[in-house]
Amino acid sequence: MKIEFTTKNNLIKILRNNTTEEDNKYARSGVYQLKCSTCGKIYVGQTGSTFSIRFREQKHDFKYMSHKSRFAQHLLEEGHPLDTMENIMEVIHFAKKGRMMDALEKFHIYGATRKGIQTNDRLTVQQNPIFEAILRNNKHFRGQ
């Protein structure tokens, strides 16, 4: 007989998409992704307020040609239109502000950078062996 210790609280389970299809998902906070409807490039961000409030801020930056938002800056520089929240925003993880949200955001920015499809600031992304191992060895994240 062998005794084994296992836990359900491991890195893969934490990083997996923990979203559910619920009517009010935009009323929560966490990590999100905006996808340009023209070229398919993505912006990964986080918000401590609700996703709908954050999208309104992105929309405001686009409408008034502010370059505060990297996503709005991409749309303005490329001449791409801003689509609706339901069409371009994907909720990646529900989370509260803090280190966990920061790590989740960095992981998803890293994955998008590796594919060459992100609009975030590329200078902030550094080589990360843990993220590399997760992306290389987990089939759930290979397709993302």
- Residues 87, 92, 97, 99: is their CA dihedral positive or negative? negative
Q: Is residue 92 part of a domain?
A: yes
- Is 20 a member of any domain? no
Distance CA 85, CA 35 (A): 10
pLDDT at position 121 over 90: no
Range of the domain at 113: 25-142
CATH of the domain at 77: 3.40.1440.10
| Residue 99 belongs to some domain of the structure | yes
In three-state secondary structure terms, 95 is: coil
In a domain, 57, yes or no: yes
pLDDT band at 128 (very low <50, low <70, confident <90, very high): confident
What span, in angstroms and rounded, lies between the C-alpha atoms of 77 and 53?
24
Residues 74-108 have pLDDT tens digits of 999 999 999 999 999 999 999 999 999 999 999 99
If one counts the domains in the chain, the total is 1
